[in-house]
Amino acid sequence: MAAPGSGGAGRAENGYGSQRRKGPGALATTYLVIYNVVMTAGWLVIAVGIVRAYLTKGSYHSLYYSIEKPLKFFQTGALLEILHCAFGIVPSSVVLTAFQVMSRVFLTWAVTHSVKEVQNEDSVLLFVVAWTITEIIRYSFYTFSLLNHLPYLIKWARYTLFIVLYPMGVSGELLTIYAALPFVRQAGLYSISLPNKYNFSFDYYTFLILVMISYIPTF
């Protein structure tokens, strides 16, 4: 559920032995601070949107529509974290980062956006709330780590609340995909049937089931 670090925890351990290396290091640090501050602010906007929509409407069933645009924007913005790893700005695995980020982007666009019928499901609220809290903590953690001033409360939240937020988010993701299955099958969404000139077929319904199965090793 949670994407790996986009910040630079542990970056000081890399060291820069010469003045020539310090320039790019400082530039990368400045960029990462800006990136993490923007992402923290973005997820705070989503959190405020959730609370405001609930207080205004008195129900959480239509909350998704209140935060749909910022959710799509900032979750898609996490794709930059793959580039951070690929270019060596952040010392994290490119493969692991890509898998974790893409799984969320996939759920955001290829499931929740594409299957309108699931957008009022309780499961969507479940993973959105889990993602929102997780990301506010995570990006705040990286920001303060880069500034060498990490408050204990944020450090504690980073390494403690995931015990609840991780299963909460994964459960919401799985339940949302499951809720989408009948609508995907009925509409034949993103499926390719034979015969066709490419002699290729693809069943999105089956693919989603395989995606759900792939979650098993994460528990």
Annotated catalytic residues are 166, 173
Residue 134 in contact with residue 170, Cβ under 8 Å?
no
Residue 202 in contact with residue 192, Cβ under 8 Å?
yes
The answer, yes or no, to whether the previous bond of 195 is cis (omega within 30 of 0) is yes
**Largest Cα span, the chain:** 63
For the record, the structure tokens of 187 come out as 């509409």
Residue 100 in contact with residue 86, Cβ under 8 Å?
no
The DSSP annotation for 96-145 comes to HHHHHHHHHHHIIIIIIIT-GGGTT-HHHHHHHHHHHHHHHHHHHHHHHH
Residue 131 in contact with residue 50, Cβ under 8 Å?
no
